Homo-oligomer: A and B are copies of this chain.
Amino acid sequence: MSKSIFYHAGCPVCISAEQDLVHLIGNENVEIVHLGEDQSQIETAEKAGVQSVPALLTPNGNVLHINFGAAIADVKA
């Protein structure tokens, strides 16, 4: 895994954080996953340690939880 993965759920704080982080890290280095639209990715995110969104999963496996947008439980339909 060489890219970071940015998990979000479309909330305003997610989108603001997304734009900032994508700009800083570089668009080509970040994969963006919208957990609200792609619920199949929720289990993968949870296993990686994502507890809330927005969160950035770094290439070395650390999860940086950014602000507090929504608990992961709230993204599940």
Residues of chain A having any CB pair with chain B under 8 Å: 4, 16-17, 20-21, 23-25, 29, 58, 60, 62, 64-68
Contacts and interface: CB of A to CB of B under 8 A. Distances in A.
Given A66-B65, A67-B64, A4 B24 contact: yes
Contact of A66 (B4, B23, B29, B64): B64
A16 B17 CA distance: 19
Contacts of A66: 64-66
Contacts of A29: 24
Contacts of A20: 58, 60, 62, 64
Contact of A65 (B4, B23, B60, B67): B67
